[in-house]
Chains A and B, each alone.
Chain A
Amino acid sequence: MAYGDTVLQRNISFTVNRGDIFFIMGGSGCGKSTLLRHLIGLKRPAAGRVLYGTTDLWALDEQQRTALMRHAGVLYQGNALWSSMTLAENVALPLQHATDLGPSLIRELVMLKLAYVGLVGFEDYYPAALSGGMRKRAAIARAIALDPEFLFFDEPSAGLDPISGRHLDDLLLELRDTLGATLIIVSHDLASIYSIATNAVFLDARAGTMLAAGNPREMLETSDEPAVIDFLTRGTGKREVPCP
């Protein structure tokens, strides 16, 4: 992973299993979001492969890559809702674009997705008129519009209060169980890492590579990397889950 000649991370290798809630952890500026951009086909890695099953994402041509990414939904750090469209139009656009469904069915689907995230009644609002938490949920509704197999989240809990963060975790679990989706989450929110992660990888800015992989709770017990332990214990070094 590199920007020009500046190498951010090297020698990263990990596997995400179907149905995982996989966290990409690490301190600020270690390249978590960049890794995510590699995974969702927005930025070509300087070296290496991104495999979906046995398909190498970056060996495909642009059309095939687009087709593969149809199976993915992405929640961006800043939500990236299209600000010139209402919530309903935001959620409807991927449906209109990727399917041949009629307008009434699309409307039904949109209402359904908005209902999942608890935003019924707000479908004709513009994103700017909503609170941060509601925008986040609206962006999730858009990400799940096409019932994706893979869901990518870039810092979903950033800017949310603890209670909203908790509700978001519940929502993520619900999504995995009901849609059968695989969740890949970039985050440094320890509370949600401990409560929902099944698998994770830890990137370190100073080492410039990944320092640990596996379930974060096990990581906490078994890792001997001081940077990992520091991160997982908020720097206290006590090997216990800080927020049960």
Chain B
Amino acid sequence: MKQAPRYTVSSSQPGILDLALSGCWKIGCPLPPMAEILARIDGSLQTVRISTTGLTDWDSLLIVFLRQMLLHCRQHGIEPDLAQVPEGARRLLQLADATPQQGLALATPRPGLRARIGLAAIRLFAAGRDLARFTGEIVLELLRIPVGRSYFPPRDFFYFLQATGAEALPIVSLIAVLVGVILGFVGAIQLGMFGAQIYVANLVALSMVLEMGAMMSGIIMAGRTGAAYAAQLGTMQVSEEIDALQTMGINPIGFLVLPRILALALMLPLLCVYADLLGIAGGVLIGVSMLDISLVEYLRQTREAITLAQVGQGIIKSMVYGVLVGFSGCYHGMRCGRSASAVGESTTAAVVMGIVLIVVSDAVLTILFNIFKIGAL
């Protein structure tokens, strides 16, 4: 059974404090309260004599104790007598003292409320400027493509087309069918109350074509491709691959960002059309199985419910979403810090920004389409 660490303080001679350590001073044992010894040390003492006769075992716990006592002693101008302290512990204490305070003081005093508001405003402004700068760089590079001065390998571009398009089909299929089923189901209950079950076809078709097809595929892409872009570019930033491009005079915007954004802007409208179709198919499932509408009847109702302009509205929206999702993925990837956790943060930020931009731009676009009466209801 190990003895708990303990100390006793006594004073045999005036001006000399005797500190007797005993027991096992190892991490895991409770550190005895420092208050007693610290209270006894003051300027009237000449020295503190430490005896370790009862000390059985020690590690960093003892060092912590002695160091705190030592620092306290020095504040009062006392140099304790460490002659009896184990040789190893004495050396460790010296080692801890040997490292001078170096490095730059990073902790700055917390600024006041006004200063913090000001700093936040400056940061916000800087972030806005950074976004504008990135957008500008992309536009400039885009303009250089027709002149043949921007360059990215076609193979990369086709790879991104495949990764963002064909490889996303299974997940888009699943989500689109289920969204169609859900819309159909909700519509069936509500419209059934008026005996207007056939209008489930209108509800499903209009919702899919105008909003849900584009938005669902956009959100899937934000989580799937936007995150992948941010992680790819972020990792390249960490491993200095983007620096390497820059020093070779290859513009990373043109080489890495443009093919990604273009691929997404091209593939998302296609995915949107696909999602529209599958969503309507999901509606058919409900209509035929739950509402006893025949397939032909359902499809004819659907055809009359939507116009080409409305389909076009969804497709245009999805192209905008594609650009925005690609933009946020690439933006956060390129602005990634140089650590593994920074890659994680930029991936998260890319997905969040992508989804927020999709919803905001959807609202703006819907209002614009209504003002200009394009495919309006």
Q: B-contacting residues of A (Cβ < 8 Å)?
A: 6, 37, 40-42, 66-67, 69-70, 72, 74, 76-83, 93-94, 96-98, 142, 146, 206
Contacts and interface: CB of A to CB of B under 8 A. Distances in A.
Top-9 shortest CB links A-B: A80-B240, A80-B244, A66-B249, A76-B240, A94-B248, A74-B247, A80-B241, A97-B250, A78-B239
A81 B241 contact: yes
B246 interface: yes
Nearest to B250: A97
Contact of A70 (B235, B240, B249): B249
A6 B240 contact: no
Interface residues of B, number: 16
Contacts of B98: none
Nearest to A152: B247
Interface in B229-270: 235-236, 239-241, 243-250
Contacts of B104: 6
Contacts of B250: 93-94, 97
A146 B245 CA distance: 14
A36 B239 CA distance: 16
A83 B239 contact: yes
Contacts of B246: 41-42
Given A6-B104, A78-B239, A97-B151, A69 B244 contact: no
Contacts of B239: 78-80, 83
Contacts of B235: 83
9 contacts: A42-B243, A70-B249, A72-B247, A74-B247, A76-B244, A78-B240, A80-B241, A94-B250, A96-B151
B8 interface: no
Given A80-B240, A97-B151, A40 B249 contact: no
Contacts of B241: 80-83
Contacts of B247: 40-42, 69, 72, 74
Contacts of A40: 247
A79 B243 CA distance: 11
Given A37-B243, A42-B243, A83-B239, 15 more contacts: A40-B247, A72-B247, A74-B243, A76-B240, A76-B243, A77-B240, A78-B239, A79-B239, A80-B240, A82-B241, A83-B236, A97-B250, A98-B249, A142-B244, A206-B102
